Amino acid sequence: MSSNSSSPLTGAADRAAATTAGRPAGQRGAIRLHNVSQRYGTGADAVTAVGPVDLDVPPGEFLVLVGASGCGKSTLLRLIAGFEPATVGDVEVSGGAPVPGVTSGVVFQQPRLFPWKTVGGNVDLALKYAKVPKSERAARRNELLERVGLDDTAHRRIWEISGGQQQRVAIARALAAETSLLLLDEPFAALDALTRERLQEDVRAVSSDNGRTNVFVTHSADEAAFLGSRIIVLTKRPGRVALDLSSTLPRTGVEPEELRGSPEYAALRAEIGAAVKEAAVA
Ligand SMILES: Nc1ncnc2c1ncn2[C@@H]1O[C@H](COP(=O)(O)OP(=O)(O)OP(=O)(O)O)[C@@H](O)[C@H]1O
């Protein structure tokens, strides 16, 4: 992936603005959770998965939600995506209610691609859903594939590319709509360690394109320390904020190897790891 931070295509920013038309410009990509709890089931079977949680995330943040299995990370992400309403409290994205497919793009653990389409065809479809004019789609598709390091694979079928490449296609697809918020739910959990590291580097490099906000869910303290500008450790279920940390690691102008080898990264990773362990038993 290239780390070029500007979109060469005119119209993209306008479309991004159109997806959140009527919302305050300064709020695009901002997230606000006020007294949010999420319950599933009723009576004796009722489970409180999350909450109460209060959270203010300004535009441009790379927020990582980290915690033990079952603590409610994906639930929080689904609430922010607008896939389900909160049982209690308010969720705001870009200054209003979250709207699935409009206020955010989502990347899941499994790429969820259309196997009968080519790599380029999958991205084209996302551009079509994002209402990108037909005349602009080929250029935009090529730009997105280049952005995720897949410029020479547009013609290939999904089953002809590796799991890591499939996840890159999923990221390109999520970027296609130019939403001001990208939600990533353990997108690299199923990948081998080397591919995972490469994709982390790539996601870190493109994360601040157009001032986008990112929310990334993971179990891994390494991944949280490497990616996050802000890291939230959740308690065991019902997930609440156990620790809210701002990272001082540089976001640009540093090689990934240098970052991973730095004492500051090691200290942050250790702090997150200890907090996750403590929160899982508290
Ligand atoms: N639709 C649902 N109905 C009932 N219970 C649910 C539902 N969704 C989540 N839960 C429960 O809520 C809790 C939190 O689930 P969630 O998937 O958000 O956790 P998580 O931290 O993302 O877990 P993991 O890291 O294992 O993916 C779990 O106990 C889960 O079983």
ipTM score assigned to the predicted complex: 0.97
Phi first, then psi: give them for residue 159, nearest 5 degrees. Answer: -75, -10
Please, which residues bridge with residue 231 across strands? 64, 245
Degrees (nearest 5) of the Cα angle 125, 131, 135? 80
Beta carbons within 8 Å of 254's beta carbon, 6+ residues apart: none
User: pLDDT tens for residues 253-282?
Assistant: 889 999 999 999 999 999 999 999 999 887
Cβ–ligand 1 contact at 218 (below 6 Å): no
Domains of the chain with bracketed CATH: 29-104+180-282 (3.40.50.300)
239 alpha carbon to ligand 1 midpoint, in Å?
10
User: Which one of 40, 45, 79, 234 would you pick to mutate in the ligand 1 pocket, going by the greatest count of ligand atoms within 8 A of its CB?
Assistant: 40
CA nearest neighbour of 101 among 129, 122, 77: 129
Peptide bond into 187 cis (omega under 30): no
Ligand 1 geometric centre to CA of 235 (Å) = 13
| pTM for the model | 0.89
Query: Which residue, by CA, sits nearest to atom 3 of ligand 1?
Result: 40
The tens digit of pLDDT for each residue in 138-157 reads 999 998 998 888 888 999 99
Give the pLDDT confidence of 35-73 residue by residue, as tens digits. Answer: 999 999 988 889 999 989 999 999 999 999 999 999 999
**d(CA 102, ligand 1 centre) in Å:** 24
